[in-house]
Amino acid sequence: MSSKKNISRYRSKIKIRGKISGTPERPRLTVYRSLNNVYAQIIDDVNGKTMAAASSQSKEIAAEVKDAKGKISKSKMVGVLLAKKAVEQNINTVVFDRNGYRYHGRVQAIAEGAREGGLKF
């Protein structure tokens, strides 16, 4: 955690995690974004298990991601894929954890994609 931006994000993340927790009935959808990729997981915090995961590097959407223009459209595809995986496991409602990032751009695109895919939060 070297830069001021990362320290600020980490502090925000701690505050968010203090208020948000995933249960087996309503797990937590968390987002991580690196410079070029985005990652999203659905986590049951009670049992400490990842129930579903997707990223912009997932094999299921590799061809679509390659043709996509921009990181935001890739992020939306990740959200749709994650929602599809979650619905297969009978997960319909989640709690959204933006992981200290602003609800804007790629983070918002993942949330919108997940809503399009059938998740409620």
| CATH number where 20 lies | 3.30.420.100
| 8 Å CB contact between 33 and 111 | no
Per-residue pLDDT in tens (0 to 9) along the chain, 121 residues: 578 988 999 999 999 999 989 888 999 999 999 999 999 999 999 999 999 999 999 999 988 988 989 999 999 999 999 999 999 999 999 999 999 999 999 999 999 999 999 999 8
Q: CA dist 92 to 9, 10, 36, 42, 87, Å?
A: 28, 29, 29, 11, 6
What is the model's pLDDT at position 1? 58
**pTM to 2 decimals?**
0.89
**Residue range 68-94, pLDDT digits in tens:** 899 999 999 999 999 999 999 999 999
Nearest to 74 by CA among 119, 98, 110: 110
Q: How many domains is the chain built from?
A: 1
**How far is the C-alpha of 69 from the C-alpha of 32, rounded, in Å?**
20
What is the model's pLDDT at position 3? 87
Q: What is the dihedral of CA 28, 72, 10, 53, to 10 degrees?
A: 30
Structure tokens at 53: 């995961």
Domain residues for 57? 4-117
What is the model's pLDDT at position 2? 75
What is the model's pLDDT at position 86? 95
